[in-house]
Structure 1
């Protein structure tokens, strides 16, 4: 452990157990390694100890102990992040919130719900099913809602419903000193003081630990219809997306998969879709509204050569279609068994989307690496996945080079280095390019003011 941090010894562990329970505190090497590992290619770094918490009070007491001894604290949800967010770069205590699974209160009349941070999005929607309500943010993985808040998650529904930023009303947060703060009321709007809620959304556990989340809910649409449509070229598919969005059509989801990704999806999910650049659509609304949306989008698609729509109106058919889309990452990796992936998540203004994707595709075709393109293109966000042999350093360096080109291109187009994965420690070097030294200095000032001993998930977002 870094000399600037305190030491975890037997007396510290005894104190930790006294605050929780012996069976919820572990120094097992295997468990610690698991908790220092996410879904990314970044090297895992295990914490010294993992503690499973049941309440905000327990989290508060543990953080107070860690603050007293200057021991690093790393929050952990489900481990599905992609930029090394959970790596314990300086050792310390991993606080696993996965047992904090209480759905505290559903308020149908206000269209909101309060949950503990360990509740996952699928669990919440299963619980809500009989209320006629749902929570729309869908990053693919069954992530915890605390983790989704901390990484400012997005996903396939963002084009209509927004991201976590737009759908979190209030938070309960444990600060670096162990104090408990509620960031806002449940009012749909407020002009009271600094916006503490949005300070913690996307802070990745570097300013505090989110233990409860109050979220907006939505009525389940009266009618839902999904479709896929292949296109003669990637450019034609992307131009269909751009025109659809610029026409103001309230489409719920519009996803792009290139021909390599469609080939991988077919093989992984045992499907037989055409191997061509393809758009996945989903429409929400009244029967009449749905019909109007579908007709307009079909007309736009036909203008760009997309003519073979395949529809999925039954829920089981839609679930199968979106399951195939959500498994795209694993499908691509399965094309090269034993390999790992470097996944980009750049986001650009919609008017620059075609340029960004086509230049990325050109880079991909010049490289020896196998790669795919997939994305939530309705809001300008796309992913390029570069698959590499983890035992081949040259391949890893090539994947990093290609990813860097995507990021630099996106920033030059007034876009962002990350549309949804976050910074972690994997993308810290791009923040200055995006915000300038002045913007980065403000972030450092916030970090130092709230966490002067740098114990909260140190080494992520900003370097001190």
Structure 2
């Protein structure tokens, strides 16, 4: 949400509609409260608006209610309740997507997963950990730091584990331009980001030098349209090179036309049949991708 505040997208898209086509009946809201508890259900306009958009410029489409489940069993109960009453359901993580994936275009219930942050399974043998959706990155960074005997800050950190001979590891370190410290096995590397862009907000992925420097004014419709046209052109260039239009943020609302160009009508029809088999009433985040 910080990026949206920096860019002023809330003001740029000020005409946000909070009207749902099918308002939830009061008894259904009470049923939601029975599953997750009263404090974990909200129908307040401001809360619904916060959950009706991501960092993209797609028009806000708020859900009718927002719930905060805290266990897998509650998520299952909520899904069963929505299925019985034919109410759309939309999951919400951090709202940082760029394809309108969280927009509740047909209303319904938004399940905010930010309170599900537990570790559910840890395997030292497989060097893997299974966590709930909202498990904080800073906790993971702190755990990796303690296990490897390092002094990394307990903050969101990108870690790479490099393997090879000591000479090979030193070469990889030089190629990556990183600050490395020896861990118990190999090297654990924390990549360092470049100074922020002095003229515009910048976000990015320091691991592959993929930065997004955002310089256009989203309050100008012409500028927004120009950026949209550029993104469509970029997607088609990717397709022409044998790649995919999906990019990092997948397909939600903005790339559906490009997905048709990529997969063709038969490909999309196949995906629709698979979705219909799993979601016969089209309740799971409807109006996206297909």
TM-score when scaled to structure 1?
Answer: 0.50
- Residues matched between the structures, number: 261
What aligned pairs does 1:203-222 form with structure 2 within 5 A after superposition? 220-221=161-162
Match of 2:57 among 17, 21, 41: 41
Aligned residue for 1:321, secondary structure, equals coil
TM-score when scaled to structure 2?
Answer: 0.77
Deviation at 1:10, TM superposition (A): 0.8
Match of 1:321 among 177, 192, 198: 192
What aligned pairs does 1:344-423 form with structure 2 within 5 A after superposition? 387-423=215-251
Match of 2:95 among 76, 79, 89: 79
Aligned residue for 2:100, secondary structure, equals coil
Q: Provide the alpha-carbon RMSD of the alignment.
A: 3.3
Deviation at 1:105, TM superposition (A): 2.5
What aligned pairs does 1:2-401 form with structure 2 within 5 A after superposition? 7-132=23-148, 220-221=161-162, 285-293=164-172, 312-313=179-180, 321-322=192-193, 324=194, 331=196, 335-336=199-200, 387-401=215-229
Runs of 4+ with deviation above 6 angstroms: 373-376
Q: Within 2, Cα distance between the matches of 1:112 and 1:13?
A: 39
The 1:377/1:8 distance shift into structure 2, 3 A limit, reads same
Q: Within 2, Cα distance between the matches of 1:14 and 1:452?
A: 26
Asked if the contact 1:36–1:46 (Cα under 8 Å) also holds between the matched residues in 2, the reply is yes
Deviation at 1:286, TM superposition (A): 4.5
Aligned residue for 1:388, secondary structure, equals coil
Task: Give the aligned partner of residue 252 of structure 2.
Answer: 424
Task: Give the aligned partner of residue 243 of structure 1.
Answer: none
Asked if the contact 2:24–2:64 (Cα under 8 Å) also holds between the matched residues in 1, the reply is yes
Deviation at 1:37, TM superposition (A): 2.2
Aligned residue for 1:101, secondary structure, equals coil
Q: Within 1, Cα distance between the matches of 2:137 and 2:247?
A: 19
Q: Within 2, Cα distance between the matches of 1:71 and 1:320?
A: 44
Deviation at 1:459, TM superposition (A): 1.2
Deviation at 1:290, TM superposition (A): 2.1
Asked if the contact 1:386–1:399 (Cα under 8 Å) also holds between the matched residues in 2, the reply is no
Deviation at 1:7, TM superposition (A): 4.1
The 1:108/1:85 distance shift into structure 2, 3 A limit, reads same
The 1:29/1:142 distance shift into structure 2, 3 A limit, reads farther
The 1:142/1:445 distance shift into structure 2, 3 A limit, reads farther
Task: Give the aligned partner of residue 369 of structure 1.
Answer: none
Q: Within 1, Cα distance between the matches of 2:226 and 2:259?
A: 22
Deviation at 1:41, TM superposition (A): 2.3
Task: Give the aligned partner of residue 455 of structure 1.
Answer: 283
Asked if the contact 1:387–1:399 (Cα under 8 Å) also holds between the matched residues in 2, the reply is no
Q: Within 1, Cα distance between the matches of 2:62 and 2:83?
A: 20
Residues 1:446 and 2:274 aligned together = yes
More strand by share: 1
Q: Within 1, Cα distance between the matches of 2:214 and 2:44?
A: 33
Q: 5+ unaligned residues in a row in structure 1: which ranges?
A: 134-140, 144-155, 162-219, 222-283, 299-309, 326-330, 344-372
Q: Within 2, Cα distance between the matches of 1:377 and 1:127?
A: 24
The 1:125/1:142 distance shift into structure 2, 3 A limit, reads closer
Q: 5+ unaligned residues in a row in structure 2: which ranges?
A: 1-18, 150-154, 183-188
Aligned residue for 2:125, secondary structure, equals helix
